[in-house]
Structure 1
């Protein structure tokens, strides 16, 4: 079994990246990253690719909405471009797998809703293949609110999607969804090709459960990998097909560059990445 490659989701440093794209990437390279996971690349692929090349970095994966007309996040809605626009931009950047980062909570509450999400992603996989790309899905915790016949909505989704659809499991959010994270990693097997390395104080109840209070990412108590509630080491040991271990903070606790460096050190010191 080969070890995963370390990467970092650029959303973690969204403000810094938008203010100084090249400078931010240079700092990530100096920390020791060779790869990043792109975000907000569709409207500026040439600029992103140029900055990556200048910093000696690559972005094998990238986040972009494929399954929603409008992408909701705790910090505001983002309009979505057509899939073919996303795939063309991804190809220009050098991304090989485009991962949808969020599907609205209400679409995970019924079997029909889950089936629709799965079918749309299967169709996206077909379209992506014409660009030489693959697609995937990144979870939060809303996928674990409903269950059908003993299966969580997320598990049902995994069964309904084609094998070529890749799964990127956010370990923090799976824990927030009440999951036994190492067991889920093992269950997903070869479908799981990437994980988000994220730690902190996990909310006591699923933030997307019915009746849960509204929350924003700035309310999260996130911490360096290995210093919070998430069993990251056990989860990484449970997966034998993980290709990318991607550091991410929704709400970095301090200087974001120091924070991602600390999480990279956890991965390297533990022998979890190549």
Structure 2
């Protein structure tokens, strides 16, 4: 894909309410970040004349939702193949009949490290939060991730309720040596009753207790500009879902679509990014997706 067609080039961030026209939405609007955000960008790009940097090998991971088909057939064998491709880490999403200790054993045997696990929002209120925290510790992870909010909460009052719940659950997570993250989807970037829902979570959660696992595909599809989020909310995005977008708006292997990851990642250090986790929601061939996506991220320089 020619760079001129990619979304997220420097200085052409996607506005909140526009997306590529037709199937893809409207063209990304120019993003000029002033004041402290501009200073932050300058800091991030200091030494821009130096050689561009790669993603650290220890930071390239696979979100296991991508591999759910193979995992259901052979969990440990799938992990071994991911390690052979070059992946260092995984995000756990679905255990396929195994408990946390069993998965940890398979990870240790294959040389992979779990950095996080997705846990349903209801776990916070149903009495299962402490066990969920202990399971993430058993897996060896750093972060416990709420992957979405119930549809009934997709309004400002619901997001304020979620922010309060996240702060409380985040305190318990910190006491367990972990951190709570929230994973976004397209609806999180909507304006409802005059308020941008994602901003409610960003502004009304304690940065010391709550961070974000930013899904780059859903952020772009919702009209957000990941690079600008990194600049304006420093150190709040320790993990990413690196998911590409096909020209028709569907999912694509990383590097084969229209998202300009190099442009987004110029501000990744400012955003606090530590993990770049590949994801594809509907891969035709999960292992081929894993190979293609790893090759692109390993070669990427920004």
Query: What's the TM-score, normalizing by structure 2?
Result: 0.74
Partner Cα distance (1:18, 1:193) in 2: 28
Q: Which structure dedicates a bigger proportion of its chain to strand? A: 1
1:37 aligns with one of 68, 75, 91? 91
Partner Cα distance (1:159, 1:256) in 2: 37
Greater Cα shift, 17-26 or 128-137:
128-137
Kindly indicate whether the alpha-carbon contact (under 8 Å) linking 2:244 and 2:253 is maintained by their aligned counterparts in 1: yes
Kindly indicate whether the alpha-carbon contact (under 8 Å) linking 1:141 and 1:173 is maintained by their aligned counterparts in 2: yes
Change (3 A) 1:192 1:202: farther
Partner Cα distance (1:247, 1:81) in 2: 31
Partner Cα distance (1:16, 1:81) in 2: 32
Partner Cα distance (2:100, 2:239) in 1: 23
> Cα deviation per residue 1:36-84 (whole Å; 9 max; x = unaligned)?
111224961111111101101110122112x2269xxxxxxxxx87111
1:85 aligns with one of 131, 139, 150? 131
Partner Cα distance (2:117, 2:254) in 1: 21
Q: Does 1:97 align with 2:128?
A: no
The higher-RCO structure (CA 8 Å, 6+ apart) is 2
Question: Based on CA coordinates, which of the two structures has the bigger radius of gyration?
Answer: 2
Count how many residue pairs are aligned between Structure 1 and Structure 2.
Answer: 243
Partner Cα distance (1:188, 1:43) in 2: 37
1:156 aligns with one of 193, 197, 200? 200
Unpaired runs of 5+ in structure 2? Answer: 1-43, 45-52
1:172 aligns with one of 207, 217, 222? 217
1:76 alignment counterpart: none
Partner Cα distance (1:130, 1:26) in 2: 33
1:25 alignment counterpart: 79
2:109 aligns with one of 48, 54, 67? 54
Change (3 A) 1:157 1:196: same
Q: Report the Cα offset of residue 270 of structure 1.
A: 1.1
2:166 alignment counterpart: 121
Query: What's the TM-score, normalizing by structure 1?
Result: 0.81
Unpaired runs of 5+ in structure 1? Answer: 71-79, 205-220
1:246 aligns with one of 260, 274, 277? 277
Cα RMSD, aligned residues only = 2.3
3-state SS, counterpart of residue 198 of structure 2:
helix
Kindly indicate whether the alpha-carbon contact (under 8 Å) linking 1:105 and 1:142 is maintained by their aligned counterparts in 2: no
